[in-house]
Structure 1
Amino acid sequence: MSDVDEVPYAEVIGDPISQSKSPVIHGFWIERLGLKASYGARRVTNETLPEYIATSRGNANWQGCNITMPLKEAVIPLLDDLDPVAKAIGAVNTVYREADGKLVGTNTDAGGFLEPLLGILDKQHLFRMARIIGNGGAARAIVAALVENGFTLVLAARNVGKARNLLAELAPDGEHYTAPLAHFAEATDFPFDDRKGCLDLIVNASPLGMKGNPPLLFDWSHAPPGSIVYDIVTSPAETQFLEAASKAGCQTISGLAMLVGQAAIAFEKFFGVQPPRDCDEQLLDLLRT
């Protein structure tokens, strides 16, 4: 038994996992609160996931785990239950243990994604449109969250059929659209109408632009005036996509904001206390280094 097993602990799992910033976030909060707990990272593949869940289930100190690619859907049949959020999204990014020992899957991606947008979403808009790139587990949560907040969606992916099925499942009502990934890489001469009173969001919900992955190719002629650009990639913290967005005059939101927001929800599930959010700026500075 390792030292980590001697106190309540949680961890992040996935493949690859070395790029995850979750141990820094949870470790920062654990230290600030003086908790006798720990948080780590473990490489788990699709093949080793069943054994990991079975072993962890038998360890009373294991409080749960955050889940990253490519396990967000594969973990579902290994759990005892899903909460309503995970059921609606169809993907799990957090597993926690209830008092009776049951392992429950939830999804904090939606709440974490919305957190830096809450002040904007509190306002009234004539029209809300989001252009979303990607159709993986994180994209599912983002689609569900934006539909709930009145957005018309354009979902771009390599597999347009999969994107179409995702919208049919999560956003069956409303007039939403799909497009091939290459659509946004090529220039357009589309004349945007008056966007006054509208909210336009452009979201990279894919791993494109992450360290070790190809860049996200996006032509900024597709960005309506006043667009907010949100990249959920966290490594690097300031992606080429966000740098280009800033040069194009767009407001930007880094994936670190979503990461901290979703981690805060998971932290309370794991350790039974709220994290100290009054030191977010210090935490974000730490994550950028």
Structure 2
Amino acid sequence: MTGRPPIGRDTRLCMSLSARPGNYGSRFHNRLYDLLGLDFVYKSFATTDLPGAIGGIRALGVRGCAISMPFKEAVIPLLDGLAPSAAAIASVNTIVNDGGVLTGHNTDHAAVVALTAGIDPATRFVLHGSGGMAKAVAAALHRNGLRDGTIVARNEAAGRALADLYGYRWQATPREGAPLLVNVTPLGMTGADAGALAFPAGMIATCRIALDAVQYPPETPFLRAATAAGARAITGTEVATLQALEQFILYTGATPTPAQVAEAAAFARAAP
């Protein structure tokens, strides 16, 4: 391992903002800094003052910031511009600071495009969620040619808007199964929702592919039930790794090798 320089006045700071921070991003980025000998450090934060936090990024010269729920849409008016990846779906998961100019990107979209690229476009799916990550996933599925889909969301306005954008259907609650089930809600996430299933057990038992955007735990109740029924699982950790790699490249301009990415991902998975 190369090892990065000692932290000093020239060290660049990158960070994340989330309502419920985890360790995956910090461990992944910091491990790659070590492996590539980069003078960067990464730290995760929670906030109840989003405008203040974004102002701090600008004022303190923070190089980059990952944005997680529930800030992916609320952050947009606080930025100076959007890259095409974020403008297309009105959702930001990454901020890049170039001399005080803050540009929003969306690396979730590219990650899901890659992970679902081999799915037959004729596959029918049900997607549970309507927030910023749901927008990225729906856009990725549409880009990969999947046209037969249902958006499940209790918020009718948000759910219908997302469904209408891509010609999908909307339902308030899951009513019928599909070969591809996608969870983009906190159901199954560590904390109050840890034991919750994202879909009824009967729907899960008949699906063939299960994608869960929840990053931790890597195996949610939904994914455990789906794999027990013989379905292929796409985990939130896989999504997190691919999108974090894209963030890393945006922040540093450096491209790690596949072996370095695999090592950083394994290191990040080793702690909750």
> Structures share a fold, TM > 0.5?
yes
Partners of 1:218 and 1:54 in 2: CA distance: 39
Contact 1:132–1:154 (8 Å) recurs in 2: yes
- 2:158 equivalent among 153, 156, 162: 162
In angstroms, what is the RMSD of aligned CA positions?
Answer: 2.2
Q: Which amino acid aligns with 1:266?
A: Q
What stretches of structure 2 of length at least 5 have no aligned partner?
Answer: 1-6
1:114 aligns to what?
Answer: 113
Q: Aligned ranges for residues 1-20 of structure 1 at < 5 Å?
A: 6-17=10-21, 19-20=22-23
Alignment CA distance shift 1:238-1:77 (3 Å): same
Partners of 2:15 and 2:210 in 1: CA distance: 30
Q: Which moved more, 1:218-227 or 1:79-88?
A: 218-227
Partners of 1:41 and 1:166 in 2: CA distance: 29
Contact 2:205–2:225 (8 Å) recurs in 1: no
Q: Which amino acid aligns with 1:117?
A: T
Q: Deviations over 1:59-113 (max 9, x none)?
A: 23x1020001111111111111001111111111100023x54210011111122
Alignment CA distance shift 1:143-1:5 (3 Å): farther
Q: Are residue 205 (structure 1) and residue 184 (structure 2) matched?
A: yes
Q: Deviations over 1:7-55 (max 9, x none)?
A: 11110112122x241101111111111111111111122xx11122222
Alignment CA distance shift 1:283-1:89 (3 Å): same
Contact 1:114–1:258 (8 Å) recurs in 2: no
Partners of 2:261 and 2:83 in 1: CA distance: 28
What stretches of structure 1 of length at least 5 have no aligned partner?
Answer: 193-199
Contact 2:218–2:237 (8 Å) recurs in 1: yes
Partners of 1:141 and 1:52 in 2: CA distance: 24
Q: Aligned ranges for residues 216-231 of structure 1 at < 5 Å?
A: 216-222=197-203, 227-231=208-212
Q: Which amino acid aligns with 2:184?
A: A
Partners of 1:103 and 1:14 in 2: CA distance: 18
Partners of 2:106 and 2:8 in 1: CA distance: 25
Q: Deviations over 1:112-131 (max 9, x none)?
A: 2222233x15xxx4613221
Alignment CA distance shift 1:90-1:241 (3 Å): same
1:26 aligns to what?
Answer: 29
Q: Which amino acid aligns with 1:87?
A: A
2:173 aligns to what?
Answer: 181
Partners of 1:236 and 1:281 in 2: CA distance: 19
Alignment CA distance shift 1:55-1:201 (3 Å): same
Partners of 1:283 and 1:241 in 2: CA distance: 26
Contact 1:133–1:156 (8 Å) recurs in 2: yes
SS of match in other structure, 2:15 = strand
- 2:225 equivalent among 244, 252, 274: 244
Partners of 2:63 and 2:263 in 1: CA distance: 26
1:197 aligns to what?
Answer: none
Contact 2:89–2:139 (8 Å) recurs in 1: yes
Contact 1:64–1:95 (8 Å) recurs in 2: yes
Partners of 1:285 and 1:55 in 2: CA distance: 31
Partners of 1:274 and 1:50 in 2: CA distance: 31
- TM-score if structure 2 supplies the norm length? 0.87
Partners of 2:206 and 2:34 in 1: CA distance: 43
SS of match in other structure, 1:58 = helix
How many residue pairs get aligned? The number is 261
2:41 aligns to what?
Answer: 38
Partners of 1:241 and 1:164 in 2: CA distance: 24
Q: Which moved more, 1:76-85 or 1:50-59?
A: 50-59
- 1:135 equivalent among 130, 152, 160: 130
Q: Are residue 261 (structure 1) and residue 260 (structure 2) matched?
A: no
2:144 aligns to what?
Answer: 149
SS of match in other structure, 1:211 = coil
Q: How far 1:209 sits from its partner (Å)?
A: 0.3
